[in-house]
């Protein structure tokens, strides 16, 4: 069994597990808020399934991501200059958890107030993801990034599975199956976040030392950011990877923000929705094993390209199914079993591509600019969420079938751009900078 432990041979086990604990903590927000419950709650209960409910939800989601786009690189630059990545990480986690709990107390029909609570919560969640990723170059050698990132994502998916089990149990035990009764789950999500944040706060250590002056922090951060942006032009392959991340990150954002809504379009109800997301989650655990076991040896680019080919085929197949479903004489009698197949395949794709992308960015990142680069990574990856708006508009005005064609196009574009990355050239470019 010790030979099956992905982190075997690494000396800083407590550091690694305290880092992983944050991945487990914020899974409650990813799953219960963005993917499963809140998105469906907002479109059906708060907006009453209005004709443009999907578009309104996408604007709220994308609007919060746009704020992350602005704040991520600045916060990352300041954190590098002051060596305060951990403080930013913990503060973002506590703030997100508190606001998530607050969602459970907002009147269900107050769309403006709900958005005013959700938007800063999602901003803090995403900033926390960036700062967590920026610790990766401090925790291990580049040759171990794939297995560490993949194992952490596997732990997060395992936590998600437990969250789903507890959610289903809560629905049955307390009769909370209807969307209007889901607010207690929001409070639960916030408390989960706080509980698993504790090990990170107690044991994670930051090795970086302050490098910036003691002047105005924002000006200092902007100056460092400008320097990093200019330097990205030098790190050609990192820049190409960030561009590719924008395209396939858009597709992943659509899945995260609309998974339960899409399943609802095919007739799934509350418990079935949880089951569908459970299938995605279990498959996600399997998906994380791909970069954990193979990425460091097989190569970051090869892994990414193969995963994007897989994604493109899966989403194209899902679109074909949607066309057949919407044009069937009796959609209610149309077979639903392919949805469970697509759920499994989507889960494998989400787990593997998400983990592989984080490790690939870390591999091409100079160690002394980790928070800045991961801030830019966050900026690009979160900017990709703007793509949920055209997806939602097509879905509201044309239908689920054509919106899935749009989704397929995002992954295909990411695949094409990824083909231009030269992994070995990128490694050589940062060798002197990281020394």
In tens, the pLDDT along 120-134 reads 999 999 999 889 988
- Lowest mean pLDDT of 128-137, 168-177, 369-378, name the range: 369-378
- Asked whether 108 and 183 are in contact (CB, 8 A), the reply is yes
Residue 285 forms part of a structural domain: yes
- Lowest mean pLDDT of 110-119, 131-140, 206-215, name the range: 206-215
Q: Give the mean model confidence (pLDDT) for residues 356-370.
A: 81
Q: To 10 degrees, what angle do helices 400-418 and 300-326 make?
A: 160
CATH (domain of 378): 1.20.1250.20
**Percentage of the chain modeled with pLDDT above 90:** 52
**353 pLDDT exceeds 80?**
yes
Mean confidence (pLDDT) of the chain: 87
Please count the other Cβ atoms lying within 10 Å of the Cβ belonging to residue 321. Answer: 19
Residue 116 forms part of a structural domain: yes
Residue 8 forms part of a structural domain: no
What is the residue range of 137's domain?
14-434
**Percentage of the chain modeled with pLDDT above 70:** 93
Q: Give the mean model confidence (pLDDT) for residues 362-373.
A: 77
**182 pLDDT exceeds 60?**
yes
Residue 77 forms part of a structural domain: yes
Residue 272 forms part of a structural domain: yes
Please count the other Cβ atoms lying within 10 Å of the Cβ belonging to residue 34. Answer: 22
Pure H helices in 83-182: 85-103, 111-134, 136-139, 145-173
Which residue reads 């951060």 in tokens?
A: 221
CA-CA distance, 129 to 134, in Å (whole number)?
9
Non-local (6+) Cβ contacts of 289 within 8 A are 150, 154
Residue 3 forms part of a structural domain: no
Q: Give the mean model confidence (pLDDT) for residues 276-291.
A: 78
Tell me what pLDDT residue 71 has: 83
pLDDT band at 220 (very low <50, low <70, confident <90, very high): low
Residue 259 forms part of a structural domain: yes
Residue 262 forms part of a structural domain: yes
Domain count across the chain? 1
pLDDT tens-digit map of 304-321: 999 999 999 999 999 999
Look up residue 423 and give its two tokens.
């992994």
Tell me what pLDDT residue 45 has: 95
């Amino acid at each position: 069994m010790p030979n099956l432990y992905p982190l075997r041979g690494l000396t800083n086990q407590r550091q690694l597990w305290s880092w992983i604990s944050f991945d487990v903590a914020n899974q409650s927000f990813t799953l219960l808020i963005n993917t499963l419950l809140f998105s469906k709650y907002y479109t059906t209960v708060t907006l009453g399934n209005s004709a443009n409910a999907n578009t309104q939800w996408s604007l709220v989601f994308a609007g919060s991501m746009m704020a992350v786009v602005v704040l991520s690189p600045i916060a990352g630059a300041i954190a590098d200059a002051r060596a305060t990545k951990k403080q930013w990480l913990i503060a973002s986690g506590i703030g997100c958890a508190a606001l998530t709990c607050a969602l459970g107390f907002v009147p269900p029909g107050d769309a403006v107030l709900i958005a005013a609570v959700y938007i800063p919560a999602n901003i803090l969640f995403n900033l926390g993801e960036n700062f967590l990723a920026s610790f990766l170059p401090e925790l291990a050698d580049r040759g171990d990034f794939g297995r560490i990132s993949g194992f952490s994502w596997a732990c997060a998916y395992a936590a998600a599975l437990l969250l789903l089990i507890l959610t289903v149990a809560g629905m049955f035990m307390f009769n909370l199956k209807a969307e209007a009764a889901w607010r207690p789950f929001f409070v639960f999500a916030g408390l989960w976040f706080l509980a698993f944040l504790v090990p990170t706060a107690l044991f994670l250590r930051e090795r970086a030392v302050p490098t910036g002056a003691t002047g105005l922090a924002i000006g200092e951060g902007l100056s460092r950011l400008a320097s990093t942006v200019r330097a990205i032009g030098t790190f050609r392959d990192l820049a190409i990877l960030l561009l590719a991340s924008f395209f396939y990150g858009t597709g992943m954002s659509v899945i995260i923000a609309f998974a339960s809504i899409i399943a609802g379009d095919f007739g799934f109800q509350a418990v079935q929705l949880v089951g569908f997301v459970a299938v995605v989650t279990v498959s996600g655990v399997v998906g994380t094993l791909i970069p954990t076991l193979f990425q460091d040896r097989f190569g970051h680019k090869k892994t990414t390209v193969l995963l994007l080919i897989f994604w493109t085929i899966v989403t194209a197949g899902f679109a074909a199914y949607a066309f057949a479903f919407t044009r069937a004489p009796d959609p209610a009698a149309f077979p639903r079993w392919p949805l469970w197949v697509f759920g499994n395949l989507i889960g494998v794709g989400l787990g593997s591509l998400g983990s592989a992308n984080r490790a690939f960015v870390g591999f091409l990142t100079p160690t002394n600019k980790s928070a800045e680069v991961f801030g830019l990574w966050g900026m690009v990856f979160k900017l990709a969420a703007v793509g949920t708006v055209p997806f939602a508009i097509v879905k509201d005005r044309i239908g689920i079938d054509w919106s899935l064609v749009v989704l397929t196009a995002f992954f295909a574009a990411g695949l094409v751009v990824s083909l231009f990355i030269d992994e070995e050239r990128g490694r050589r470019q940062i060798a002197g900078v990281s020394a």
